[in-house]
Amino acid sequence: MEKNNINVHIGKVYQQYRLKNKLTQNEVAELTGLEPRHISQIERGLSKGSIDTLIKLCNAYKITPDIVLYDLLDKDIKNSISIYDEKFKKLTKRDKESILHFIDYFLEN
């Protein structure tokens, strides 16, 4: 995907979740410490923002960065993610909790 198209795509995702959360750009600015003008530029694809901005906006919209970036992934990566996602959904609640516990353990070390 071309850089400008990536910026436009990301901006549309941000705008979608801002509206879904019934927030104005000014309210998001208050939540994130970003300038409303900067938020507007990002939503219109004129600015890409930093990773710090990504995290701030995701926190404001109560989403994770993968939601914003998922459509930008290569088709093969998406397929492998969906395969594991489907397998994970078939597990019992106890098995899911065990796996997540192990993941947390390994991420801490």
pLDDT greater than 70 at residue 53: yes
Share the mean pLDDT of the chain: 87
Q: Is there a single domain that holds both residue 39 and residue 22?
A: yes
Q: What percentage of residues in the chain have a pLDDT greater than 90? A: 52
Domain that holds residue 91: 75-108
pLDDT at 80: 67
Please state, in angstroms and rounded to a whole number, the distance separating the CA atoms of residues 26 and 7: 21
pLDDT greater than 60 at residue 3: no
Q: Is there a single domain that holds both residue 49 and residue 95?
A: no
Q: Is there a single domain that holds both residue 103 and residue 67?
A: no
* Structural domain count of the chain: 2
Q: Is there a single domain that holds both residue 52 and residue 90?
A: no
pLDDT greater than 60 at residue 23: yes
- The encoded tokens of residue 52 equal 């710090």
Q: Is there a single domain that holds both residue 87 and residue 61?
A: no
Please state, in angstroms and rounded to a whole number, the distance separating the CA atoms of residues 60 and 72: 21
Q: Is there a single domain that holds both residue 104 and residue 54?
A: no
pLDDT greater than 80 at residue 11: yes
Instruction: Assign residue 18 the CATH number of its domain.
Output: 1.10.260.40
Q: Is there a single domain that holds both residue 38 and residue 81?
A: no
pLDDT at 19: 98
- Torsion, Cα 24 28 31 34, to 10 degrees, reads -140
Q: pTM of the prediction? A: 0.67
- The encoded tokens of residue 79 equal 């397929």
